[in-house]
Structure 1
Amino acid sequence: MTRIPDSSLKTAATFEKLFKRYYAWLCHYVTKLSGDPDLAEDLVQEVFIKLWESRYYITVRTSFKHYLFKACHRRFLQYVREEKKENNLLNTLKWETLYDLQAEGPQHMSVKIQAVRQAIDQLPPKCKEAFLLSRYNQLKYREIAEEMGISIKTVEIHISKALVLLKQNISFPLYLFILIFQEFLN
């Protein structure tokens, strides 16, 4: 059992040693939980960032390895809860939007489909490519990153930017429409 004096977390050199010692082990552990090595790396890095940011206030009463294990486990569970909450919200919004569109009739739907197509065509090229690969080809961020030759974080940025621009350029709450009627937009 490795006990780390609280004061040693405050030095960058010691912190770096601890990071190098446990990072791969923690990534392996979180990959077993999630099944996604890229997600595991992101979550473990977030744990280390939080640890570094709170290094002056933290007290490790167990072994550092046990502390990190628990912190990564908690971060993974938090991620799962956030994903579930987001999926529930998207599902609710999807059904509400579907109901609203159905009530408006087919003529309004074709106008909205055209508006969405135009808004997508106005996206910056990389944003558009990442967005289409995600929403229409159903690729995961890791797969998009590989295909485009960019990092996963850059994919996230492109897709977030695309959603913001679409929301701004469509005068009705149609960014949700995109999530629902993907087959109509191809």
Structure 2
Amino acid sequence: MSEEKLLEKLKKGDTDAYQHLFSTYYNWLCNYIFKLSNDHSLSEDIVQETFIYIWEKRNTLLITTSLKSYLFKSCYNRFLQHIKKEKRRSDSLEKIQWDLIFETSFEKETRHEIRLKKINSLIKQLPPRCKEIFIKSKFEKKKYKEIALELGISIKTVEVQISKALIFLKENINLFFL
């Protein structure tokens, strides 16, 4: 089936045309995004989001290149959006981390010790896996990739667990020091 015919049927809501498009390009697109991200789950998510977008916008799609080029470029752009979002999230977590360090660094020694004890108490309250990952990252100074390999989990899981720990600490640290 030609691309023009496929697009025409797709715009009319033909699910067979959509299925044909999906089955033709899904694996190629997943492999392409995997080469960029080295993350199977992320590559599948990005490709699926792209196909959902195409289906939802099928009536207004304006494709001026080949369909194949459009799909690859759309997936690439979604990947870039994901990278930018993760960068902003990482920057935010970094700020929380520095806020915690700042709060505990510039106090009198006795206040400093009290705060450290309270922070340690909060760390002990973290869920076991979250606490284990947080300790490996912040106290053992291991990189996310090292932790992921050591625990047999994805880097994304490490990032999420560190994020949860920092958010928990940030929310609860204020309760201690009001």
Same fold per TM (> 0.5)?
Answer: yes
My pick for the range that moved more, 151-160 or 33-42, is 151-160
Equivalent in the alignment of 2:89:
86
Q: How much has 1:88 moved relative to structure 2?
A: 3.8
- Residue 58 of structure 2 corresponds to 55
Match of residue 148, structure 2, among 143, 146, 151? 143
1:1-186 equivalences in 2 (<5 Å): 2-3=3-4, 4-8=6-10, 10-128=13-131, 137-140=142-145, 143=148, 147=152, 161-171=164-174
CA RMSD of aligned residues (A): 3.9
Quick one: distance in 2 between partners of 1:103 and 1:35?
Answer: 41
Deviations 1:59-89 (CA, angstroms, capped at 9, x unpaired)? 3343221111110111122223233333444
Q: Which of structures 1 and 2 has the bigger CA Rg?
A: 2
**Gapped regions of structure 1 (runs ≥ 5):** 175-186
Alpha carbons of structure 1 residues 7 and 17: separation in structure 2 relative to 1, 3 Å: closer
Mind listing any 5+ residue stretches in structure 2 that lack a counterpart? none
Structure 2: how far apart are the matches of 1:126 and 1:35? 24
Structure 1 residue 26, shift from structure 2 partner:
1.1
**What count of residue pairs does the alignment treat as equivalent?**
172
- Alpha-carbon deviations, 1:77-120, whole Å to 9, x = none? 22232333334444455445434432223433333333233223
CA distance in 2, matches of 1:24, 1:164: 37
Q: CA deviation at 1:34?
A: 3.0
2 CA distance for matches of 1:111 and 1:139?
29
SS at match of 1:60: coil
What is the aligned-residue identity percentage? Answer: 39
CA distance in 2, matches of 1:152, 1:28: 19
TM-score normalised to the size of structure 2? 0.66
Worse-superposed segment, 18-27 or 50-59:
50-59
